[in-house]
């Protein structure tokens, strides 16, 4: 069987902008987001969260130090893939806001080009739905999908993964210490990986300091003008929500912005390939098709729900740290933030199911620049648990307890 070519674009399979800039009408009010009272924010589960983030969902708790360290070890271990070559961290790089800046779509098993780009994992603990089409609804369960996907990590079964880990180094001893009631099981492996991912939180951005910290000097006049457009004329906040005290920059809903439909009816004529840093050539699609499998038509959330209104609809992503995660959209088809704003400024790509929230915005060149400038203020301060695997900011003492984890089903943990 032919292998799909790596569609190198010099950018990333990253956190995507599926919707928001063109949504709404002039003068729209900022929608209410998850709010956090002082009482909730000072709780054990939330006291360490950076400025701008709401309390964690009731189904999510900060794990112990032992679970986080075990999960991080698994996250960076290539031996979890069938041929010992791919790890979670290869599509979710810390320096790229846990996305990647290498290609428009993720690269999987034996160099196969995947259907979509890899979203950022920052603040993933807040996500109601996971993956661009929302096919999974809990962080501990979603880890198994890439592990078992034949085009990603390609393991043939759950049992084969458990048996593989059982024979690697001292994983058995670490699992038994961390989860004394279960040891190594599909549940505990999923919990450990999720434990590390839950700690990947980003907030305290310049926007947060200005909006929620009353620091008027944290943003420039141009950036403030961009924010006014974001919540007003451009209507971005109708889907990328901003609350009174916190902001996740997503409504966690699914929208047809025209990008998926466009890819089907108006495919690209060439692919940009980076030969060396900053040196690109355009490769005609006809050349690619000679040695590559034909891409599968991506129908978005319709593949999950079979509802016609979900055809070519994708989840609204968060915009936090968005300047680090291009290219954008579910397929990485827009290389820069300016291209994304220009796309929504034009009202999206017309199709029968196009979201009714999209319409031409009539933004001027100056307004587009201001909106892009504002988006760059959303780069935050990353907090995560530090081990010897890589360098970074040490997580707060709230997760420093290294006692054993008593595992309960998701949603039933105290």
88: helix, strand or coil: helix
pLDDT tens per residue across span 161-189: 999 999 998 899 999 999 999 999 999 99
Which run of H or E residues covers position 279? strand 279-284
> 401: how many CB neighbours lie within 10 A of its CB?
14
**25 or 350, higher pLDDT:** 350
For 98, left (φ over 0), alpha (ψ -120 to 50), or beta? left
Does residue 246 surpass a pLDDT of 80?
yes
Does residue 39 surpass a pLDDT of 60?
no
Confidence of residue 101 (pLDDT cuts 50, 70, 90): confident
**405 or 68, higher pLDDT:** 68
Does residue 33 surpass a pLDDT of 70?
no
347: helix, strand or coil: coil
> 244: how many CB neighbours lie within 10 A of its CB?
12
What 8-state DSSP symbol labels residue 111? G
Q: What is the mean pLDDT of residues 90-118?
A: 79
Rounded CA separation 15/228 (Å): 23
The pLDDT of residue 313: 97
Calculate the average pLDDT of the chain.
82
Token pair belonging to 384? 């995560």
Does residue 155 surpass a pLDDT of 70?
yes
Token pair belonging to 95? 């320096």
The pLDDT of residue 140: 93
pLDDT tens per residue across span 382-400: 765 443 333 333 443 334 4
* Lowest-confidence pick of 37-51, 62-76, 269-283, 395-409: 395-409
Does residue 21 surpass a pLDDT of 90?
no
Rounded CA separation 110/346 (Å): 38
Confidence of residue 98 (pLDDT cuts 50, 70, 90): confident
For 342, left (φ over 0), alpha (ψ -120 to 50), or beta? alpha
Helices and strands in the chain, H and E counts: 14, 6
- What lies within 8 Å, CB to CB, of 353 at 6+ separation is 256, 261, 308, 309, 311, 312, 313
Tokens 């579910």 found at: 330
Rounded CA separation 188/75 (Å): 14
**25 or 299, higher pLDDT:** 299
């Amino acid at each position: 069987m032919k292998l799909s070519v790596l569609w190198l674009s010099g950018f990333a399979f990253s956190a995507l902008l599926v919707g928001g800039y063109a949504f709404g009408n002039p003068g729209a009010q900022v929608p209410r987001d998850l709010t956090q009272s002082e009482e909730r924010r000072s709780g054990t589960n939330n006291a360490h969260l950076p400025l701008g983030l709401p309390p964690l969902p009731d189904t999510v708790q900060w794990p112990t130090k032992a679970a986080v360290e075990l999960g991080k070890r698994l996250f960076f271990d290539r031996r979890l893939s069938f041929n010992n070559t791919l790890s979670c961290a290869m599509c979710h790089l810390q320096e790229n806001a846990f996305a990647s800046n290498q290609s428009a779509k993720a690269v999987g098993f034996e160099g196969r080009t995947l259907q979509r780009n890899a979203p950022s994992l920052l603040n993933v603990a807040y996500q109601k739905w996971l993956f661009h089409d929302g096919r999974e609804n809990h962080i501990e369960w979603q880890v198994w999908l890439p592990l078992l996907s034949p085009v990603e990590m390609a393991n043939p079964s759950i049992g084969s993964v458990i048996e593989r880990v059982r024979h690697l180094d001292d994983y058995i001893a670490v699992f038994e210490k961390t989860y004394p009631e279960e040891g190594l099981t599909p549940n505990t492996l999923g919990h450990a990986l999720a434990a590390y991912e839950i700690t990947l939180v980003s907030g305290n951005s310049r926007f947060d300091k200005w909006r929620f910290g009353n620091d008027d000097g944290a943003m420039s006049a141009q950036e403030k003008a961009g924010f006014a457009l974001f919540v007003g004329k451009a209507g971005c906040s109708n889907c990328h929500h901003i609350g009174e005290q916190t902001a996740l920059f997503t409504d966690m809903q699914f929208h047809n912005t025209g990008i998926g439909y466009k890819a089907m009816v108006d495919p690209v004529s060439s692919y940009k390939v980076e030969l060396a840093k900053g040196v690109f050539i355009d490769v005609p699609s006809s050349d690619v098709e000679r040695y590559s499998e034909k891409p599968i038509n991506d129908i978005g959330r319709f593949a999950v729900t079979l509802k016609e209104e979900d055809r070519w609809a994708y989840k609204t992503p968060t915009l936090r740290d968005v300047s680090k995660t291009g290219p954008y959209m579910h397929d990485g088809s827009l290389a820069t933030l300016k291209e994304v704003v220009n796309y929504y400024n034009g009202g999206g790509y017309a199709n029968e199911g196009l979201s009714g929230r999209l319409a031409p915005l009539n933004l001027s060149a100056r307004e587009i620049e201001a909106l892009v400038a504002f988006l760059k203020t959303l780069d935050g301060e990353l907090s995560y648990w530090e081990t010897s695997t890589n360098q970074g900011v040490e997580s707060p003492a709230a997760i420093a307890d290294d006692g054993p984890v008593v595992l309960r089903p998701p949603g039933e943990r105290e």
